[in-house]
Amino acid sequence: MTILLLETATSVCSAALSVDGAIVVLRESHEPNAHSSRLSVFIQELFAESHLEMRQLDGVCVSSGPGSYTGLRIGVSSAKGICYALGIPLLSVPTLQNMANRYFELHPDYKGLVCPMIDARRMECYTGFYNRQGEVRETRAEIIEPGIYDAWLDEGEVTFIGNGAEKTRPLLSTHPNAHYADCSVSAVGMVHLAEQQLAAGRHEDVAYFEPFYLKDFVAKKSVVHGLRAESGERKTESGKRKAESGERRAMTNRHFN
């Protein structure tokens, strides 16, 4: 099986080619906001270096989220375009599961749980819990507070990984079963799950597949300094004038009644 693997859910842009379960070429960039300029170049380089042709692909696997809205859109759009053009299956792997799989592959003797954490701004993270068999708690968007995972930690070791883990370390690391590891998200972690899906004939609908955003995308409004305040002041003054006008009418009615 020859599969193109795309991971763009976080600040990491990662693309790889696998043949029969082995990574033959990998391209990665940790440069923020570079997915749109890097991904297509990476894909071209993968085929050039591997001496494979795109028509030899059996499928394309993309990280399905949660994560960066823009990053997910770029990865999914690229995967869909290739699958549609070649008429091959579109596969998807949840981003947190990809991260957990990668950690377990790198640490074959580890017996505890893995909690991948993706930064969702401020003290909020996308989180899940995994063992070697798969997901043991569903993906959530959580505000990280002291003691939030004590019930899990009291049961045994938990290793926190991902770009959301480090900022939560002061809140969680006091528990003796809490561990932290540097395990960056990568397309490499999707290989075995992608092969399993392809072998089982499980794939996504190319036309209707959408990433798992978990939270709605909120576009930031552009505000010109002073305009909002001036607008608020105008509304306040208008309200005052209306109130004064109403008081005058009420006084007039009382005078003539």
User: Above 60 in pLDDT, residue 51?
Assistant: yes
The predicted structure's pLDDT at residue 233: 43
* Contacts of residue 151, Cβ cutoff 8 Å, sequence gap at least 6: none
154 to 113, 122, 147, 148, 177: CA distances (angstroms): 12, 26, 11, 12, 7
d(C-alpha 140, C-alpha 144), whole Å: 11
Task: Using CB atoms within 10 Å of the CB of residue 149, give its burial: 0 to 12 exposed, 13 to 18 middle, 19+ buried.
Answer: buried
Domains of the chain: 2-95+186-200 (3.30.420.40), 97-180 (3.30.420.40)
Residue 19 region by backbone torsions, left for phi larger than 0, else alpha for psi between -120 and 50, else beta: beta
pLDDT tens readout for residues 63-92: 999 999 999 999 999 999 999 999 999 999
Cis peptide before 89 (omega within 30 of 0): no
Let me know: does 25 contact 15? Beta carbons within 8 Å: no
**Angle 28-31-34 from CA coordinates, rounded to 5°:** 90
Q: Which of 121-135, 166-180, 209-223 has the lowest mean pLDDT?
A: 209-223
pLDDT, averaged across the chain: 87
The predicted structure's pLDDT at residue 184: 85
Backbone angles phi, psi at 150, to 5 degrees: -60, -35
Share of the chain above pLDDT 90, in %: 77
The predicted structure's pLDDT at residue 225: 40
pLDDT tens readout for residues 221-244: 434 344 344 444 444 444 444 444
Confidence of residue 216 (pLDDT cuts 50, 70, 90): low
Pick from 99, 36, 90: nearest CA to 67: 99
pLDDT tens readout for residues 92-134: 999 999 999 999 999 999 999 999 999 998 889 999 999 999 9
**Helix axis angle, 35-50 to 69-86, nearest 10°:** 40
User: Above 80 in pLDDT, residue 137?
Assistant: yes
Pick from 13, 168, 130: nearest CA to 75: 13
